[in-house]
Amino acid sequence: MARPGRNRKQARRTKAGQLSRAGAPRHDHGTERTAAHKAIYGTNGCDAIGRAAEKGLLGADCAARLNAARGIAKAYWAHYGEHPIRCTLGGGGGGSGGGGSIEAERWLVAKLEQVESKGRDVRRAFDHLCIDIHPDQGPPWLDRLIDNDGSPSDAMMLKLALVGIDAVCA
């Protein structure tokens, strides 16, 4: 019997009276666009650096560059992000803006200074590719390169971003 004031859900029930889960969809795979995106990029389609890696734009040191860029992005958003990063398993713990350890902050600042030392244009291209959040598409110059419509200035932006990533890898 349902609680007062709450309608009983109309569905098939098991012998014990619980709602039956037989025939219920187990996993939502998203839209056709999402499926096409995953078919192209696999699990690397969630950020700009991953899409560039899947299309072969990172060069010979692809794995090292990808790992370095994602490491910097994770540290950056854990430290400077607005919202805390929380563990889905834990209670109240988790990192938030400015709450990390001093060593982690020093490491991040040192890495970003290495990129900054290569010039303002390198830092801007590095931020576009590695730090800025582009979950489905973007930055525009990378999208043009992926679609093979890139101009020489788009190729230059990628080259500058790779200079910044290489500075972090060194």
Reply yes or no on whether the pLDDT at 156 is more than 90. yes
pLDDT, tens digit, for every residue of 71-116?
999 999 988 887 665 666 765 555 444 556 889 999 999 999 999 9
pTM of structure: 0.77
Cis status, amide bond into 84, omega within 30 of 0:
no
pLDDT, tens digit, for every residue of 107-130?
999 999 999 999 999 999 999 999
What is the share, in percent, of the chain residues with pLDDT greater than 70? 87
Half-sphere exposure of 46 (CA within 13 A, CB side): 5
- The strand ranges marked E within the chain are 85-86, 94-95
Q: Residues 65, 58: contact at Cβ < 8 Å?
A: yes
